Amino acid sequence: MTDAPLAPPRRLAALLSRRPAAGRARSGALHRFLRHRLAVAGLAAIALMLLACWLGPLLIPYDQLFIDIRHRFAGPFAGPHVFGTDQLGRDLLVRLLMAGRISLTIGFAAMALSTAVGTAIGLVAGYRGGLVGAALMRCVDAVLCFPSVFLLLALAAFIRPNVVTITLIIAATGWMEVARVVQGQIRTLKARDFTLAAELMGASGFYVMTNELLRNAVGPIIVAATLTVARAILAEAYVSFLGYGIQAPVASWGNMLNNAQQYLGSAPWLAIFPGLMITVAVASFNFVGDGLRDALDARVEL
Amino acid sequence: MSQDHDEALPSARTQGPSRRRLLALGASAGALAFAGPLAGWVPGALAATPPTKPKGQAVIGLSQEPTVFQPLKLHIEVDEAVYMNLFGTLWRSNPDGSFAPDLAAEIPSVENGGISADGLAWRVKLRPDVKWHDGTPFTAEDVKYNLALLVDPKFLSGRRAGHDLLRDVTVVSPTEITWRMERPYAPYPAILSWTWFGPKHILEKEADINKPAFAQNPVGTGPFRWGERVPGDHITLKAYEGYHGPGPFLETLVIKYVPDLTVLYTQFQTGDIDYIGLQGITPDHYDEAKTLKGQVVQPVPKATIENLALNTGLPVFKDRAVREALYLAVDKKSIIEQLYYGLPVPTESYLPMQSWAFNPDLPAQSYDPEKAKATLDAAGWAPGPDGIRVKDGVRLEFTNSTTAGNHLREQAQQLLQQNWLEIGARMTISNLPPAVMWGDYWMLSKFESAMVGIDFMVGPDPDATDYFSSHAIAAKGGGGQNTTQFDSPEADALLKDGAATVDRAQRKAAYLKLQALTRRELPYLPLFQYAMVQGVKAGLEGYVPNINTQENCWNAGEWYWA
Amino acid sequence: MARFLVSRLAQSLLLLVLVSVIGFGVLHLAPGGPMAQFALVPGMSQAQLAEIAHAMGLDQPLPLQYWQWFSRLLVGDWGHSYRDAQPVLAVIAARLPATLELMGAAIALAVLTGVTVGVLGAVRRDSAFDVLSTAGAMVALSIPTFWFGLVTIYVFSVKLGWLPAGSRATVGDASLWGYVHHLIAPACVLALVEVAVWSRYMRSAMLDVIDQDFVRTARAKGLPERRVVLHHVLRNAWLPMITLAGLELPTLLGGALVTETVFTWPGMGRLFLDSLGYRDYPVVMGILMVSALLVLIGSLMADLVGAVVDPRVRLD
CATH number (domain holding residue C180): 1.10.3720.10
Q: Which residues of C touch A142 (CB under 8 A)?
A: 15, 18-19, 22
Q: Which residues of B touch C172 (CB under 8 A)?
A: 57, 59, 252, 254
Asked if A142 and C26 come within 8 Å (Cβ–Cβ), the reply is no
What would the pLDDT profile of A23-68 be if each residue is shown by its tens digit? 444 457 787 788 788 889 999 999 999 999 999 888 888 888 888 8
Asked if A155 and C26 come within 8 Å (Cβ–Cβ), the reply is yes
Asked if B435 and C32 come within 8 Å (Cβ–Cβ), the reply is yes
The pLDDT of residue A11 is above 50: no
CATH code assigned at A139: 1.10.3720.10
The answer to whether the beta carbons of residues C19 and C292 sit under 8 Å apart is yes
The pLDDT of residue A136 is above 50: yes
B210, B263, B477: residue with CB nearest C85: B210
pLDDT value at residue A204: 76
Residue A16 lies in a domain: no
The answer to whether the beta carbons of residues B510 and B499 sit under 8 Å apart is no
Residue A68 lies in a domain: no
Intra-chain end-to-end CA distance of chain A, in Å: 33
Q: Which domain holds residue A250?
A: 28-56+83-295
Average pLDDT for C270-296: 88
pLDDT value at residue B479: 78
Asked if B414 and A67 come within 8 Å (Cβ–Cβ), the reply is yes
Which residue would you say has higher pLDDT here, B127 or C258? B127
Confidence of residue C310 (pLDDT cuts 50, 70, 90): low
Confidence of residue C218 (pLDDT cuts 50, 70, 90): confident
Give chain C's domain count: 1
Average pLDDT for C38-53: 77
pLDDT value at residue B545: 83
Residue A191 lies in a domain: yes
Give chain A's domain count: 1
Give phi and psi for C261, each to the nearest 5: -65, -45
Asked if A158 and C30 come within 8 Å (Cβ–Cβ), the reply is yes
Within 231-270 of C, beta carbons closer than 8 Å to A belong to 243-244, 247-248, 250-255, 257-259, 261
Q: Which domain holds residue C103?
A: 91-277
| B255 lies within 8 A of chain A by CB | no
Residues of chain C with pLDDT > 90: what percent? 17
Residue C83 lies in a domain: no
Strand runs (DSSP E) across B316-391, as ranges? 345-346, 382-383, 389-391
pLDDT value at residue A214: 80
Residue A165 lies in a domain: yes
pLDDT value at residue A6: 37
Closest CA–CA distance from residue C217 to any residue of chain B (Å): 57
Strand runs (DSSP E) across B182-323, as ranges? 224-230, 234-239, 252-257, 275-281, 295-310
Asked if B407 and A259 come within 8 Å (Cβ–Cβ), the reply is yes
Selected for mutation to probe chain B from A63, A69, A259 (highest B CB count within 10 Å) is A69
Q: Provide the number of CB pairs (under 8 Å) joining chain A to chain B.
A: 52
- Give the integer Cα–Cα distance in Å for B351 and B331: 21
The pLDDT of residue A212 is above 60: yes
The pLDDT of residue C52 is above 60: yes
By C-alpha distance, which of B107, B109, B26, B97 is closest to B356?
B97
Within 208-227 of B, beta carbons closer than 8 Å to C belong to 210-212, 215-216
Residue A275 lies in a domain: yes
Residue B429 β-bridge partners: B400
The DSSP-derived string for B128-144 is SS-B-TTSPBP-HHHHH
Least confident of A187-201, C170-184, C287-301: A187-201
Domains along chain B with CATH numbers? 6-56+217-300+532-561 (3.40.190.10), 80-212 (3.90.76.10), 302-530 (3.10.105.10)
SS (H, E, C) chain C: CHHHHHHHHHHHHHHHHHHHHHHHHHHHHCCCCCCHHHHCCCCCCHHHHHHHHHHCCCCCCHHHHHHHHHHHHHCCCCCECCCCCCEHHHHHHHHHHHHHHHHHHHHHHHHHHHHHHHHHHHHCCCCHHHHHHHHHHHHHHHCCHHHHHHHHHHHHHHHCCCCCCCCCCCCCCCCHHHHHHHHHHHHHHHHHHHHHHHHHHHHHHHHHHHCCHHHHHHHHCCCCHHHHHHHHHHHHHHHHHHHHHHHCHHHHHHHHHHHHHHCCCCCHHHHHHHHHHHCCHHHHHHHHHHHHHHHHHHHHHHHHHHHHHCCCCCCC
Residue A274 lies in a domain: yes
The answer to whether the beta carbons of residues C244 and C201 sit under 8 Å apart is yes
Residue C66 lies in a domain: no
Is the ipTM of this structure higher than 0.85? Answer: no
What would the pLDDT profile of C279-289 be if each residue is shown by its tens digit? 889 999 999 89
Residue A46 lies in a domain: yes
What would the pLDDT profile of C192-207 be if each residue is shown by its tens digit? 988 988 888 888 777 7
pLDDT value at residue B446: 92
Residue A120 lies in a domain: yes
CA dihedral in degrees (B48, B53, B57, B59; nearest 10)?
Answer: 70
Residue C130 lies in a domain: yes
Mean pLDDT of chain A: 80
Q: What is the pLDDT along chain B (562 residues), one digit of tens a residue?
A: 344 433 332 233 223 333 333 333 333 333 333 333 333 334 334 456 888 888 889 999 998 889 899 999 888 888 999 999 999 999 999 888 889 999 999 999 888 989 998 889 999 999 999 999 999 999 999 999 999 999 998 888 888 888 999 999 999 999 999 999 998 888 899 999 989 999 999 999 998 888 888 988 999 999 999 999 988 889 999 999 999 988 799 999 999 998 888 888 888 888 888 998 777 888 888 888 888 888 888 888 888 999 999 999 999 999 999 999 999 999 999 999 989 989 999 999 999 999 999 999 999 999 999 999 999 999 999 999 999 999 999 999 999 999 887 888 999 999 999 999 999 999 999 888 888 888 888 988 999 999 999 989 888 899 999 899 999 898 888 878 899 999 999 999 999 999 888 788 999 999 999 999 999 999 999 999 998 888 899 888 888 888 888 777 888 889 999 8
